Amino acid sequence: MKNVRVARRYAQALMAIAGERNVVDEVARDLEAIGKLLLASRDLRALVASPVIREGKKKAVFRELWDTRVDRATMAFLLLLAHKQREHLIAEVVEEYQALRDERQGILDAEVRSAVPLSAAQERELRTRLARSTGKNVRVRASVDPALRGGLVVRIGDTVVDASVRRQLERLRELLREDVTNTHA
């Protein structure tokens, strides 16, 4: 939990700098690429996580990997993380920065589980309805969950809308129980 708070503060600082320099999207792309490279390279993750490897060595690796490939603000930020011995937070900072950018642009992520794959038209219609109900742009991340049997479950942040067949049957069962209980009471 503490790392998330620290990562959020660093992401907020980077967002402020990127905003001042008008490079918010460029920095987001840089961080996304850096995050992907971290996921793909066990050696890079080990280097970043190692408290034994000195700051100078880590900075040299960062410069070699990204100096000419990322915005100046991104590079300066990576070097700052190394200097402050916070480079192990890069992955968390990437996530937090992306969340801040989405928030700034009014974008919400909706995780959608459905029994069968959604067609492009169904996904567009769902995105439109969710955007209308939330007042924000919605990014749909759809996945298939055969256990649902039918319908779908939508999660946006802490809000869950369960429109699955299973949930509808549970509601029907509850109504029938209430009806039977009220009839015999």
Boundaries of CATH 1.10.520.20 in the chain?
2-103
What are the tens digits of pLDDT across the range 149-170?
Answer: 788 899 988 888 888 877 777 8
Looking at domain 2-103, which of 1.10.1330.10, 3.40.50.10090, 1.10.10.60, 1.10.520.20 is its CATH number?
Answer: 1.10.520.20
> pLDDT-derived band of residue 184, with 50, 70 and 90 as boundaries?
low
Distance CA 185, CA 183 (A): 6
Residue 168 confidence (pLDDT): 79
Distance CA 71, CA 82 (A): 17
Distance CA 104, CA 161 (A): 25
What are the tens digits of pLDDT across the range 131-149?
Answer: 998 888 999 999 998 888 7
